[in-house]
Amino acid sequence: MKLFDVYPLFDVTPVQAKDVFIFDEQGVQYLDLYGGHAVISIGHAHPKYVEGITQQLNKLGFYSNAVKNPLQNELAKQLATDSGCHNYALFLCSSGAEANENALKLASFHTNKASVIAFQNSFHGRTSAAVASTDNAKIISPLNAQQKVDFHPLGDLEAVEKTLQKGETCAIIIECIQGVGGLDQSTTEFYKGLEELCKQYGSLLIADEVQSGFGRSGDFFAFQKHGITPHIISMAKGMGNGFPVGGILIHSDIKASYGLLGTTFGGNHLACAASLSVLEVLKNQDLMQNAQQMELYFRQLAEDIPQILQFKGRGLMLGLEFEFPVSKLRKTLLFKHKIFTGSSKNPNLIRILPPLTIQKEHIDAFFSALKQEL
């Protein structure tokens, strides 16, 4: 049987990884500035993470959500402490799209409305309502297109209010730092404006922190820089450092009832063990502070490169925008200099999403390679 051919693949086969490095079949070392798409938060094969998952696997890997799982409660408690989001409840699932799907469904249940506001260049995943809220017509099938979604330019409060006035919007979903779209952000005034409008018109504000959450922005969640309180916060990627874990934090204004949401795999014992290890390492190694410091170092070195037109993003969710398409440059960085980087919807932008453990020497190596090729 062949694989269903949906991924254009780089000709690299990683077989091992450690911290910020990946190794292929021949033992060639690659610097990982991509983090497997912002997934690797505490570094590849972190000993605490390996130990946490291994110990749990030897005890109990999985049982269903029909029985008590104290690890879920422990994760909820730790998440509240570490994120500072105290007035929320946790629902666990297994991916970013699933997190957003549940967030949107819950918003619709809660408000009894059926339409969504999303933003241009957004990416929220590939399932039903999540993909319909994603600004990419190519990945929305006719089935998905039945969902009612209004897309507005990032920053345009007037357009948002006009749509809200129709009284049909269950939720506004937003990435406070756009990932796939190309690292655009709006102003605190705009995010606060959305919060206010949601209150005024009885809609819910969903912060999609699937990519930016779990410390990647330098704060636990990217929305926290703007002092807003979303009704629902969706998470995944860095949450499990590669183990498929996702979840939503749900504000206490929204009430649960049996059967409202559900999943077989979400919140299983292994997933909780993975995420608890991630939280422990994030805290013990001060990785959010490292993300802030490494952003400053990235900025400093980028300033010396005239070909970089714009430095975008925050923490270790960064974008370097050039005046030319970067696909050839990214291939050279990968195959000649053995450095993984990311792409985005913007063809001129290199995306930098390394493990949060990255150090100055790794950033030096990247800029030295970049300078040689420009």
Q: Which residues bind ligand PLP (CB under 6 A)?
A: 37, 95-97, 100, 123-125, 175, 179-180, 208, 210-211, 236
Cβ at position 132, least distance to ligand PLP in Å: 13
Q: Please name every residue paired with 286 in a beta bridge, in sequence order, or none if there are none.
A: none
Query: CA-CA distance, 366 to 256, in Å (whole number)?
Result: 48
The residue among 170 and 183 lying less far from ligand PLP, judged by its C-beta, is: 183
- Neighbouring C-beta atoms of residue 50, cutoff 10 Å: 12
Gap between the terminal Cα atoms of the chain = 43
Q: How far is the CB of 139 from ligand PLP (least distance, A)?
A: 11
Question: What span, in angstroms and rounded, lies between the C-alpha atoms of 303 and 236?
Answer: 32
Q: Are 123 and 175 in contact (CB under 8 A)?
A: yes
Q: For residues 222 and 369, which CB has a smaller minimum distance to ligand PLP in the complex?
A: 222
CA atoms within 13 A on the CB side of 196: 11
Residues 6+ apart with CB under 8 A from 21: 29, 30, 31, 32, 44
Rounded to a whole number of angstroms, the minimum distance from the CB of residue 63 to ligand PLP is 23
- Residue 66 Cβ vs ligand PLP, minimum distance, rounded to whole Å: 25
Among residues 232 and 370, whose Cβ is nearest to ligand PLP? 232
Residue nearest to ligand PLP (CB): 96
Residue 179 Cβ vs ligand PLP, minimum distance, rounded to whole Å: 4
201 or 221: CB nearest ligand PLP: 221
CB contact at 8 A, 273 and 61:
no
Closest distance to ligand PLP from the beta carbon of 58 (Å): 27
Helices H / strands E in the chain, number of each: 11, 14
Looking at the Cβ atoms of 248 and 326, the one nearer to ligand PLP is 248
| Distance in angstroms (rounded) separating the CA atoms of residues 157 and 327 | 34
Nearer to ligand PLP, 10 or 63 (CB): 10
Residue type, 339: I
